[in-house]
Amino acid sequence: MKPIPILMYHHVAPVPPELRALRGLYVTPRAFARQMRLLRWLGFRGMSMSQAMPYLRGEAHGRVAVITLDDGYVDNLEHALPALLAQGFGATCYAVSALDNRYNHWDAERAGVREPLMSTGQMRAWHEAGMEIGAHTRSHAHLTQCSDADLRDQVEGCRNDLEDRVGAAVTQFCYPYGEHDQRVVNAVGEAGYVAATTTRRGRALPGSDPLRLPRIPISNRHLLPQVAARLLSRYEDRHE
């Protein structure tokens, strides 16, 4: 079985000079564009999660890589989208759906920077460009700490919010902070999501549990040879 790398990004933007922490969540637009060109050069087809599902189920075969971006930042639309379109790639952006705080309220104090999240119109622009919107809960919640009712609201409510906003089915989920247990996984499955990604490091294998998929984190520290090693070798798999 050929492993399938699912790449995990957050910000595609220059590192803010006032940033106090979480520098690893940033990849510059130039670096991201070079990484997408690297994927193409290595023979990978960049895909969204939904596009990759036949490969993840073992129904299709080929050299594919999945591009995922967490949280739904405006910089994904501004900087990641042009690089993806230039290579003919798809990608999934996991969006936080609550509209009361349109910035990264879950880590802004620690980082020292408020980063804007996509508006409804910007989410539609992402979708209309051929990209996918996935769910990342309503408020970037710690799901393992939620009551059953709050868990259902975060998981199902986010999907309902995003489907209303984008006008398309939302079938992909990402666990905030990577936190999940069996109760959370069950709730995600019961809500009708087809697959869910974690922060567990490694490459996915065809036939893996679709609701506990590992990913490969990419940060501003990674040079192109390091990105290639994570795609092609067992480097990330050893971190499972």
pLDDT at residue 112, as a whole number: 96
| Residue 190 located in a structural domain | no
Give pLDDT tens digits for 63-97: 999 999 999 999 999 999 999 999 999 999 999 99
Could you tell me if residue 21 is inside a domain? yes
Measured between alpha carbons, how far is 71 from 139 in angstroms, rounded to an integer? Answer: 10
Q: What pLDDT is stored for residue 70 in this prediction? A: 98
81 in a domain, yes or no? Answer: yes
pTM value is 0.97
For residue 117, the enclosing domain spans: 6-134+201-239
Q: Which residues pair with 71 in a beta bridge?
A: 95
Tell me if 24 is assigned to some domain: yes
The 3 state secondary structure assigned to the chain is: CCCECEEEECEECCCCCCCCCCHHHEECHHHHHHHHHHHHHCCCEEECHHHHHHHHCCCCCCCEEEEEEEECEHHHHHHHHHHHHHHCCCCEEEECCCCCCCECCCCHHHHCCCCEECCHHHHHHHHHCCCEEEECCCCCCCHHHCCHHHHHHHHHHHHHHHHHHHCCCCCEEECHHHCCCHHHHHHHHHCCCCEEEEEEECCECCCCCCCCEEEEECCCCCCHHHHHHHHHCCCCHHHC
- What are 105's two structure tokens? 């309220």
- Specify whether the CB–CB gap between 134 and 69 falls below 8 A: no
How much is the pLDDT for 238? 74
Does 52 fall in a domain?
Answer: yes
| Cα-to-chain-centroid distance, residue 234 | 21
State the total domains in the chain. Answer: 1
Integer Cα distance of 62 and 93 in angstroms: 23
- Residue 100 has a pLDDT of 67
Ranges of residues in the chain with a pLDDT under 50 are none
The pLDDT assigned to 236 comes to 84
Q: What is the domain-level CATH number for residue 209?
A: 3.20.20.370
Taking CA 55 as the corner, what is the angle to CA 94 and CA 171, rounded to the nearest 5 degrees? 30
Which residues partner with 27 through β-bridges? 12
- Residue 19 belongs to some domain of the structure: yes
> Given this model, what pLDDT does residue 69 score?
98
pLDDT digits (tens, 9 = 90+) for 202-212: 999 999 999 99
Asked if 137 and 143 count as a contact pair (C-beta separation under 8 A), the reply is: yes
In this prediction, residue 71 carries a pLDDT of 97
Q: Which pLDDT score, from 0 to 100, does residue 233 have?
A: 87
| Domain contains 212 | yes
Give the per-residue pLDDT at 239: 67
